[in-house]
Amino acid sequence: MSASVRPSTAVESGPTAPRVPELSFFFPAHNEEANLEALVEEAFAALPAIAEKFEIIAVDDGSKDRTPAIADALAAAHPDVFRVVHHPVNRGYGAALRSGFDASRFSLIAFIDGDRQFKVADVGRLTQRIQAPDSPDVVVGYRLKRADPPIRRWYARIYRLANRIFFGVRVRDIDCACKLFKREALEPIRVSSGGAFFTAELLIKLRFEGRRIAQVGVPHYPRTAGSPTGARPSVVFRAMRDFWSLRIRLWFTRGAAMRRGKPILG
């Protein structure tokens, strides 16, 4: 069964729908010492207006700066709401997301990146959309105006087109790091990629499972601290390898391809 990708829906900034009952919010962080504390403060300020009950999870992906120490201090100060998952070594973007999903406990799970290029308050756009009458299983953000260097925008256009042609995923901004999922939709899903292809593989398999995917525009802001890694040749090569591995397996052994990988939820 193929899922429908719901048309893009304009949503006003910030949550205008009722708060969702509960929300797990996480973010991966690799060498984000300059962003971490401000992001957590922003989350504490924004999430009470979005969810009646929430948790915040930081995934430290083998950071070499002060990110682990700052995260641990924040967790000690807010033990009931904020938790940290540490990777002893850098395992890659997909592995960090996997740890965030695995640590999440609530029925709705949202993530953004730890570089502060998205505002936590704009998760409210996604929770508003998921409460709409058509009740999508997933809400994918798309950047209204991408605040990235030209090479990353060029990669993104090619990547989006390739996923549309080879997998039929008609998502406007497939690698946008602002997404919201119903936990029940993730329960049967297994993903094998540990790199930048992780979220694409997740959406592809959700589509093949017949899940409903909606899209909402979100603002995107320039990075003001830290260094991006998404355009590194090693990251791009790993994503290409995982892309073609999944495509070939789906052509020849679709059932086995869908079962391949580790469960999203532990």
What is the pLDDT averaged over residues 38-62?
98
What is the pLDDT averaged over residues 8-26?
71
pLDDT-derived band at 13, boundaries 50, 70, 90: very low
Percent of the chain with pLDDT over 90: 79
Q: How high is the mean pLDDT of the chain?
A: 91
Q: What is the pTM of this model?
A: 0.90
What is the pLDDT averaged over residues 193-207?
95
Q: How far apart are CA 194 and CA 252, in angstroms?
A: 22
Q: What is the pLDDT of residues 162-171, one digit of tens each?
A: 999 999 999 9
Q: Which residue ranges form the domains of the chain, and what is each CATH number?
A: 5-263 (3.90.550.10)
Higher pLDDT among residues 214 and 159, named by residue: 214
Q: What is the pLDDT of residues 69-116, one digit of tens each?
A: 999 999 999 999 999 999 999 999 999 999 999 999 999 999 999 999
